[in-house]
Structure 1
Amino acid sequence: MTDTPGSVDSDEEELRPTRVEVDLDVLTANLRSIRDHVGQARVMAILKANAYGHGLVPVACHMVRQGVDSIGLALLEEAVLLRRAGVEVPILVFGGITVKQMPQFLDHGLTLTAPSVEKLRFIDAAAAARGVQARVHLKVDTGMERIGIHYYSARQLLEASLTCRHVIVEGIYSHFANADSADLGHARLQLERFLEVLSFYDSRSLPMPVRHIANSAGILQMPESHLDMVRPGILLYGVYPSDECVRAVNVSPALTWKSRVAYFKVVQPGHPVSYGSTWQSDRPVRVITIPAGYGDGYFRSLSNRSEVIVRGRRFPVVGRVCMDQMMVCLEQGTAYNGDEVILLGQGDGDQGGISAADLATWAGTIPYEVLTSINTRVPRVYRGG
């Protein structure tokens, strides 16, 4: 596949041994599992942050072929890129709006988030000036304290929307702050607040916009939150939001991050490895160099903590991770230049794979950051689909 940004064909795969492989068939299976779980609810595929590191345009085109109802993104630039790639399904942009951005939102037929009365009126005026109808989703803050009108003031926004002549209110939404926790008390409170805001429409016998609040964690743990539409993000890519989440949907990781052995050496005792001399052995050991580093998104905080898979076995990363390279200690194990190395994903041996959760634990972060930090300089290769 070479007709989409960020992909390489089979003749180009070896230009750089460090690469990400994305299995489109696994994405299809994950989407099917989510659909089976949420029943009649629509599915908005969340593809922000380069489709969680999987490659925005190729994944979006694949999701469209699988019939997703809409796409959710964080930035105008992401949405424009998809429109220019021929993606025609509805695209909701979650982020804020500036004056200079408005023409592009309207010209590309994008759906805007209206988080306040002021922004809603701004959208209405801009659409009127261009002689078009703007499509919006109203954003209600039920306990995230990020963007959106507070639930206790939301009636002002809903009433204002009834007076806008160049705005079509297609949806209304909120976002969970703690739906990935074992304790769902706060999430249930947020849902209760959201439903109370929605009663505005029933009390006035008005058509109800599309209601959505369920993210990946809400999909898994709160079926009562599925409403009219759900927004799977990390779950779509086969990773669970947290260790506390119920595994109510069967999904598998679609991404494998690979490299190859670039150098083999025997390191003598008392000879430290890499910057800062943070690791050394007390006996001769075999050490290999891998051409991947924090410049690719393999965190420096993984130094002396993480593991990789070589020839079906797990081995530790030793010394500090460099910008473009890192070292792995084989002890007395064997590897040859060109051997495949799994940085993230399933190996061929019996010791299991390296999961995004593994890397997150070693780095002291979350799987979301692991996936979205894989740099765009790492080629993406697509399988299946």
Structure 2
Amino acid sequence: MSLIHESKEMILKEHEELIKKWESIQKEISSRVVEFDSFNIFSIPESGLALREINQSEPHTSRSSESLVENSSSEKASSSSIPSSEADHQVPAIRYIGGVDVSFFKENEGRGMACVAVLEFPSFRLVYENVKEFELTVPYVSGYLAFREKDILEKMIADIKNTHPQFYPQIIFVDGNGLLHPRSSGLACHIGVETDLPTIGIGKTFLSMDGLRWNEEEYKSQFQKKGDWVRLVRYGKTIGASLRTNDKSIRPVFVSVGHKISIETAVRFVNDCCIYRLPEPIRAADQIGREFVRVQQQKEHPDSEKSKKRSSEKVGKMVWVGSAGEKEAREKKLKGSFYYWKPDKKGDEKEGDESKSEKEKEVCDKEMENENVVSTGSSKEEKKEE
């Protein structure tokens, strides 16, 4: 028996009673997950980005994005008595999408930094951000990681509704799996069921489990461009998808249903939200959270080598400053976005992207003042200072 296996067995035995409780909760969450679209698929603005589903049993066959829309809408029609044309008028278009992510302090495993970011769709303009430091009181047990992060994230999503309802997201992207989980109850399922919002799970790496086949070499040979995807089937049921999200990167992301969305729509939506490998809502939440961790570490350990090395780097809030290559993006029907760090104090030298001229920065700042980006994040130390 390997040391890793021995260690895992010891952890499971140590938390046996807790795991029984968790598995009971996971079973309930899994039973409550809705695997079809809770909104009309045509309420998502068309991006013009093509999707191609690759059939694993027949590598040379594929389905176009048009057929996916037809199939998804027919499934929707079978589950609802409302005609699609009538539903279009009842369901508002998707405008705000949320991204949630948790970053950790390397020197202290008991500290985490949770981030919720809300972006306007399809411009990907950041309209709301909130970052909170929290203590990790739940033990780390593989397969039950949702219980470490779900409470703080669910509370932060509820805070948006209470404090800034105009930016309450219509769909949430979760850095973690949904149904693509040994007990079909990943973090995206927990958040979706508890908040009653459509959620999509985004896995950065493949989660191995019994009954699930995944061949990376086969993927590399078949996936030729952005939008190529294949279903992940376990015991005859689709529990997720592997999707290539960028023409320049062969590494896929692993998409799964969290709640109130079909796998076809989830794949399409993730593809539409990817400029780089990861979808913009996840990317924004990840970058914002990481920066807050870095700033906090620098404040607490100013004499460390890393702090000295980074002392001249930009520090401040992440804000959206426009669409990258906006004219070219419109022509290609693609949306690009970028972020830069706005200094907290006047006089800081590095004000965001160094490639921007001072005039461009002034224009960006004026745009941001007009757009009212909401930032509510603060660390424990920052709260004390206030």
Structure index of larger Rg? 1
Q: Which structure carries more helix by proportion? A: 2
Tell me, yes or no, whether TM beats 0.5: no
How does the TM-score come out when normalised to structure 2?
0.28
